[in-house]
């Protein structure tokens, strides 16, 4: 089966074929963060989905060129900078750094580039696009100095979201401060400077101002990936108006031959404990919040990745707990398999059926089906090891398979490079000695001492295993 995804544009499932044909580079544009604050767990749901997509594409042999933008100028960033009395760059810098740190914690693959909206190169490209749109009659400057996209000039507007502008005539929704626009739905390409913008602004042919949000993505996407992009991802809330606007801008400013994007993919939102995540409800989490609660990046990753991207995800404490338990099971299985394979230099290929992990993902990233294959394989091979029926070569074959599986899931245990504290190591050594002398009472006392220090001890047939409790 070929790799297929549900294309928002056509609302049908389609095989992914790069623009240049199979074997050619596949361009992937993923909407990135607006760095006015720490990204929240809902943002990361989208990024984890995109990571799964990229990893699976690569596993299937696609050569992926991915770009993710950083929006570092908009209403919120300006408001934050002005409120803090610092420059826009000073304000956004820590949030940019936090974003990359969080992305690493969640094991997200790096994109090829992370263009920033305030980059002079990008600003210049935005102005160039706006100029073209003006020249072609797709944009106009209003009385307030702002430049707007003239939606009436683009009959295809609404094709992605399938909205009918006829049904949204100006009326109850006209904001009082938008009187200068020709039509309500016209959106800003260039926002003219206002006092609230403080020191933020760029000189342009239309006066001092700043770019509109939609034009940022349009300019960065086409500038780095070309006028036609293969796949463009984002959250469902971006379908309208953001992505609709991007289509309008790109297809009107470009050479007009090809579509801006060939495959649109959108992930659903997540909820927290059954409710919409909102600051007012007190269920608004950043990754940092979760780490502070004792969860690890890979546990959060598992919780986010294990629900199909188009289904709304109910993010709960129970779900995180389930992630922790399931990961522990995978870890234990991997360790056991590694030991079973130790004496084998060769590997026997596993049953072909476990390739079902990948064919499930081929079907619009059916992660549930894929995980089912993984856990069935875990149970079946555990059963064989219980019975002493799994040969070392078979174990090695399974390990190699799991290596490919993990290339997509990225759920391996964290590297615990840290040395054990000296006193802990001493207690462990003492206990090992006591155990070999069968001094159970002393052994138990030492275990209690370790527990008091915050260490959890487990006796396995290969000796003591310790972890932080």
The residues in 242-301 that bind RNA, with binding defined as CB under 7 A, are 242, 267-271, 274, 276-277
Among the listed ranges 149-157, 303-311, 398-406, 418-426, the one in contact with RNA (CB under 7 A) is 303-311
Nearer to RNA, 237 or 400 (CB): 237
**Positive or negative, the Cα torsion across 181, 187, 188, 194?**
positive
| 179 vs 440, beta carbon nearer RNA | 440
Question: Out of 163, 183, 194, 393, which residue is the one contacting RNA (CB under 7 A)?
Answer: 163
Residue among 237, 339, 348, 412 that touches RNA (CB under 7 A): 237
Residue choice 21, 120, 155, 167 for contact with RNA (CB under 7 A): 167
Rg of the chain's alpha carbons, rounded to an integer? 27
d(CA 203, CA 280): 38
Q: Quick one: which of 7, 43, 118, 141 contacts RNA (CB under 7 A)?
A: 43
Round to whole Å and give the CA distance between 309 and 363: 12
Residues ≥6 apart with Cβ < 8 Å to 152: 182, 183
User: Which of left, alpha, beta for 310 (phi over 0: left; psi -120 to 50: alpha)?
Assistant: alpha
Given the complex with RNA, which of 186 and 251 has the nearer CB atom?
A: 186
Nearer to RNA, 50 or 230 (CB): 50
* Binds RNA (CB under 7 A): choice among 87, 310, 359, 430: 310
Three-state secondary-structure class, residue 311: coil
Counting Cβ atoms within 10 Å, is residue 199 exposed (0-12), middle (13-18) or buried (19+)?
Answer: exposed
457: contact with RNA by CB under 7 A: yes
Minimum distance of RNA from residue 116's CB (angstroms) = 15
- 135, 122 contact by CB (below 8 A): no
Nearest approach in angstroms of CB 104 to RNA is: 18
Give the count of residues interacting with RNA (CB under 7 A). Answer: 88
SS3 439: coil
Restricted to residues 90-149, the positions that interact with RNA (CB under 7 A) are none
Instruction: Find the DSSP H helices in 160-286.
Output: 213-225, 244-253
**Closest separation in Å from C-beta 349 to RNA:** 21
Based on the shown chain and the rule CB under 7 A, indicate whether residue 240 belongs to the binding site for RNA: yes
The region of 35-43, 57-65, 134-142, 345-353 touching RNA under the rule CB under 7 A is 35-43
Does position 159 interact with RNA (CB under 7 A)? The reply is no
How far apart are the C-alpha atoms of 130 and 124, rounded to whole Å? 10
CB-based contact 99:33 (threshold 8 Å): yes
Q: Which of 267, 214, 268 is nearest to 243 (CA)?
A: 214
Does the footprint of RNA cover residue 458 (CB under 7 A)? yes
> Considering only residues 179-208, where is the footprint of RNA by CB under 7 A?
184-185, 187-188, 191
- The answer to whether 325 contacts RNA (rule: CB under 7 A) is yes
Closest to RNA by CB, 215 vs 252, is 215
User: At closest approach, how far in Å is the CB of 336 from RNA?
Assistant: 7
Report if residue 353 touches RNA, rule: CB under 7 A.
no
* Contacts of 160 by beta carbon, 8 Å cutoff, 6+ apart: 8, 9, 239, 240, 243, 244, 247, 264
Between CA 370 and CA 56 the distance in angstroms is 12
Two tokens, residue 75: 């209403």
| Torsion of the alpha carbons at 77, 83, 86 and 91, rounded to the nearest 10 | -30
Residue 456 tokens read as: 């959890």
Binding mask of the shown chain, residues 362 to 381, with x at each position contacting RNA by CB under 7 A: -x--x-xx-xx--xx-xx--
- Of the candidate spans 34-42, 59-67, 257-265, 289-297, the one that interacts with RNA by CB under 7 A turns out to be 34-42
Which 381-410 positions form the footprint of RNA (CB under 7 A)?
A: 382-383, 386
């Amino acid at each position: 089966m070929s790799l297929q995804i549900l294309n928002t544009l056509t609302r049908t499932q389609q095989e992914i074929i790069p623009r240049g044909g199979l074997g050619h580079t596949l361009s992937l544009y993923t909407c990135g963060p607006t760095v006015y604050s720490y990204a929240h767990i809902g943002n990361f749901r989208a990024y984890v989905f995109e990571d799964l997509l990229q990893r699976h594409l690569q596993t299937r042999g696609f050569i992926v060129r991915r770009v993710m933008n950083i929006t570092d100028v908009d209403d919120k960033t300006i408001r934050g900078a002005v409120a803090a009395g610092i420059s826009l760059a000073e304000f956004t810098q820590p949030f940019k750094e936090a974003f990359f740190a969080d992305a690493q914690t969640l094991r997200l693959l790096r994109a090829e580039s992370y263009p920033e909206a305030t980059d002079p190169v990008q600003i210049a490209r935005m102005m160039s696009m706006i100029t073209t749109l003006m020249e072609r009659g797709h944009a106009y400057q209003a009385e307030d100095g702002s430049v707007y996209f003239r939606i009436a000039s683009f009959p295809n507007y609404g094709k992605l979201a399938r909205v009918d502008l006829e049904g949204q005539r100006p009326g109850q929704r006209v904001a009082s401060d938008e009187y200068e626009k020709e039509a309500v739905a016209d959106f800003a390409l260039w926002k003219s400077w206002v006092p609230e913008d403080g020191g933020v602004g760029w000189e342009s042919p239309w006066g001092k101002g700043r770019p509109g949000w939609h034009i940022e993505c349009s300019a960065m996407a086409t500038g780095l990936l070309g006028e036609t992009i293969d796949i463009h991802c984002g959250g469902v809330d971006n379908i309208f108006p953001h992505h609709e606007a991007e289509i309008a801008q790109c297809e009107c400013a470009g050479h007009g031959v090809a579509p801006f994007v060939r495959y649109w993919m959108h992930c659903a939102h997540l909820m927290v404990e059954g409710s919409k995540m909102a600051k007012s409800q007190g269920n608004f989490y950043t990754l940092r919040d979760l780490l502070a609660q004792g969860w690890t990046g890979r546990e959060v990753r598992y919780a986010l990745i294990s629900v199909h991207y188009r289904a709304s995800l109910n993010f709960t404490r129970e779900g995180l707990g389930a992630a922790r338990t399931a990961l522990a099971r995978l870890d234990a299985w991997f360790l056991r398999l590694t030991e079973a394979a130790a004496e084998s230099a060769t590997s026997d290929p596993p049953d072909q059926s476990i390739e079902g992990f990948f064919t499930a993902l081929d079907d619009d990233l059916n992660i549930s089906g894929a995980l089912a294959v993984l856990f069935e394989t875990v149970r079946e091979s555990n059963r064989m090891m219980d019975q002493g029926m799994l040969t070392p070569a078979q174990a090695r074959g399974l390990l190699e398979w799991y290596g490919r599986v993990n290339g997509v899931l990225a759920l391996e245990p964290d590297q615990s490079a840290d040395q054990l504290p000296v006193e802990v190591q001493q207690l462990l050594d003492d206990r090992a000695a006591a155990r070999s002398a069968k001094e159970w009472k002393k052994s138990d006392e030492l275990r209690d001492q370790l527990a008091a220090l915050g260490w959890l001890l487990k006796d396995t047939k290969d000796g003591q295993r310790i972890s932080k409790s």
